A and B are shown apart, each in its own frame.
Chain A
Amino acid sequence: MTYPVLSRAGEALTPAEQEELLRDRLGEGVLETLDANGTFTVTVAPDAWVATTRACKDEPLLAYDMFDCLFGVDRSEAGFDIVAILYSTSRGQRILLRVHCEGGRDKPVCPSLVDLYAGANWMERETWDMFGIEFEGHPGLTPRLLCAENFEGWPLRKDFYLASREAKPWPGVKEPAELDEQGNPIVKIPGPGEAVGPSILDEVMAEQAKIANPHAEVSGGPDATAPPEPAAPEPAAQTTPGPGPSEAADEPEAPDETPGVDFVTPEEREAKDADDAAIASARAELSRIQQAEAREQKAAEQAAAGSDTPTAGPAIPEGQTADLRDEGGLDERDGGDDAQAEAEGDDAGHDAEEDR
């Protein structure tokens, strides 16, 4: 085993020198460069994507021999960017190449780098899996690398909602601002029926699948002849090429008519979140009322069955109620009995406590 000495300091080209070299080799292909946050970025035109990477690899002064990674970045309305990061082990320098995909959000396409670096294969497959970006010249993007084979939709796009976060608000304290004056978290304990069950999660996931594959929902209709492509949002999106935020804001509550069409801006997203929260709370309220009713009815039935006298609750004298409570018969007080229990006064309660 050997311990070589690494002394490459001073061999690396400065970002300015690299930029000069690349501009000399590629001309107009280099759109802009940025050296910020310790990261040197070269943005290139889509036509020059492969040529730039080849120059980075073959140019002896650059000598980028290590393919670090490649991934996509969602740029909301503008479409998608592809970022590739290269590193040179011989010169100790790093470059971040960036290209804007052609085809907007509907059909993003990018040339493949597989011929230059073998490691680009899986990285591009993962990017296709996550963003639906096609790579021209790639030997085979299918099957999906990380997602399940029958998964629909492109998970890392911003218009793909995180199902669990849609269905259920964040548990516990989200922000330090939700602390009270003493610094203790303000705990919101969900009441009975308020906890979100799996049924709502199912609904949201069904919604998600509908957005990913709008043809599936009209399977019986006239559009059923269209093949159920996974990358399906195009036909609807082409009809509204530039969904301005104002236009989308006009009808924010109609996602069903144009499923998965427009990119949702953070404001709309927040509005939708608020809507969903309101719906969820309303639903919880409803179920709570229903449960309360059911419980009341049940209690009434029990009371009717338990006491031999055919009279209902209000006819039971105070002492008898206290007895029942001692036996645990009416331990579960619900909304209907609260007022009655208070009206009975403290005597019965005190008696019960003193008995214990």
Chain B
Amino acid sequence: MGDLDTREQVHPGTAPGEDLVLEIRGDGDFDTADMTLSIGPAHPATHGVLRVILEMDGEKIRDAHPVIGYMHRGFEKLAEARDFRQIMALTNRHDWLSGFSNELGVALAAERLMEFEVPDRAQWIRMLLAEWNRVLNHLMFVGSYAIELGAITPMFYAFREREDIQFLLESATGGRLHFTYNQVGGVKIDLPKGFMKESTDLSAMVRKRLQDYVDLVLGNEIFHARTKGIGPLPPEVALAYGVTGPTLQAAGVPEDSRVTEPYLKYGEIDVRVPTGTNGDSFDRFAVLLGRIEASLDLIDQIHDHMPAGPVNSKLPKIVKAPEGYTYIRTENPLGQLGYYLESDGGKNPWRLKMRTPSFSNVQVLPYLLRGALVPDAVAILGSVFFVVGDVDR
């Protein structure tokens, strides 16, 4: 059996483009073999069609290769063939959990390039709906993360609230996921009668029910055992990879573009940014709950500030952006969404680059998964918040 030392073969499950050499070592009695394990492309822990190829050493993950691109639709190419009105309907689709925030960014970029003055009321309405959208998104992750760890009940609670919030947003925008409510120069229509009262009541109710999640999930000792110390992400690594949002804040970096680069009227209200200390899965989840609470605080403040007035401004028949470029960053629920908009003076953008938070969050996965155990891989995948449509665009 001496030739075992030199025996090599290429594993059939090699990641595309990589030569993974499978070594078989030992004296023949206790052969250990590295193997690859493919998670996905349709694993429920991945929120879409993501594939992660794990190189295993026993139960330990030696390396991980995320394979993305299954949902690539060529958003940036499509945007070059559409004018600024039509892009709005395109942007809210890639990250289907935060449609409102997506279209907000491109509207802001276009307005900045055109030097458009947006009416005050439109700005406050945008903030109000963006915060509700944030709560909507985070509730989804609160429910689904618990499901990935084996607890079904929190999902039902999350959808109880989500349904009410979606009903509220639908009453204003007509859409449940794809709102298409922003437009260059303001929002489509004014809020319906009675919206503010509904919103106030709902904010109080969601805040009251937030305690349910703390009791159900955050205080659960199984949850503690599954998540504490799992997948710690140091802040310098997170920043080098461009990780933002709750994943970065859990690492202790209080970076939130609503505070550091205020857009709309966020400079006039008090935005709290929850942060964690260890950057592990538990902190990421705790920060997510903290962000829901902070968003509810913002919603209450926005209610007090909401002015009267017009909600949009008259646009010319053909909207054209002057020549130039700009980069704007908004705090999306999952992190910072950046739009680089370059115009050649025509009615279509010359280049519209979308920098999405999920792309960076997925890129850091190999770092987090290296050295983890297989059951922890699911706990890590679910806690680095991403939506695959947002990764692939």
Contact = CB atoms under 8 A, between A and B. Distances in A.
Describe A's contact surface by its main secondary structure.
Answer: loop
Interface in B310-355: 317-318, 324-329, 336, 338, 340, 342, 346, 350-351, 353, 355
Contact of B275 (A2, A119, A121, A142): A2
Contact of A149 (B16, B242, B253, B336): B16
A290 B112 CA distance: 53
What class of interface size applies to chain A in its complex with B?
35 or more
B264 interface: no
Contacts of B359: 122
B360 A39 contact: no
A322 interface: no
B68 A145 contact: yes
B142 interface: no
A38 B326 contact: yes
A178 B317 CA distance: 10
Q: Interface SS of chain B: helix, strand, loop or mixed?
A: mixed
B69 A85 contact: no
B318 A175 contact: yes
Given A39-B327, A89-B253, A119-B240, A156 B317 contact: no
B69 A66 contact: no
A162 B260 contact: no
Contacts of B318: 175-177
Contacts of B317: 175-177
B280 interface: no
Contacts of B342: 73
Contacts of A193: none
A8 interface: yes
Contacts of B240: 65-67, 117-119
A74 B76 contact: no
A89 B363 contact: no
B274 A3 contact: yes
B254 A6 contact: yes
Contacts of A199: none
A156 B275 contact: no
A4 B256 CA distance: 12
B260 A69 contact: no
Contact of B76 (A37, A94, A117, A156): A156
B353 A118 contact: no
A146 interface: yes
Contacts of B355: 68-69, 71, 85
A176 B83 CA distance: 11
Contacts of A1: 274-276, 286-287, 290
B16 A66 contact: no
A130 interface: yes
A165 interface: yes
B77 interface: yes
B17 A122 contact: no
Contacts of A68: 242, 329, 336, 338, 355
Contacts of A74: 350-351
Nearest to A145: B69
A37 B113 contact: yes
Contacts of B276: 1
Given A36-B324, A37-B113, A149-B16, A89 B239 contact: yes
Contacts of B89: none
Contacts of A37: 112-113, 324-326
A140 interface: yes
A254 B340 CA distance: 36
B255 interface: yes
A243 interface: no
A69 B274 contact: no
B273 interface: yes
Nearest to A9: B260
Nearest to B351: A73
A149 B78 CA distance: 21
Interface centre among B241, B287, B350 (most CB of A within 10 A): B241
Contacts of A148: 69
A3 B261 CA distance: 18
A96 interface: yes
B392 interface: yes
Contacts of B261: 92, 94
Contacts of B113: 37
Given A73-B350, A156-B77, 12 more contacts: A1-B286, A38-B112, A68-B336, A71-B340, A89-B255, A92-B261, A96-B327, A118-B237, A118-B241, A118-B367, A142-B17, A146-B68
13 contacts: A1-B274, A1-B276, A2-B274, A4-B254, A66-B255, A69-B340, A73-B351, A117-B240, A118-B240, A119-B240, A119-B241, A145-B68, A162-B81
Interface of B: 16-17, 68-69, 72, 74, 76-78, 80-81, 112-113, 236-237, 239-242, 253-256, 259-261, 272-277, 286-287, 290, 317-318, 324-329, 336, 338, 340, 342, 346, 350-351, 353, 355, 359-360, 363, 367, 392-393
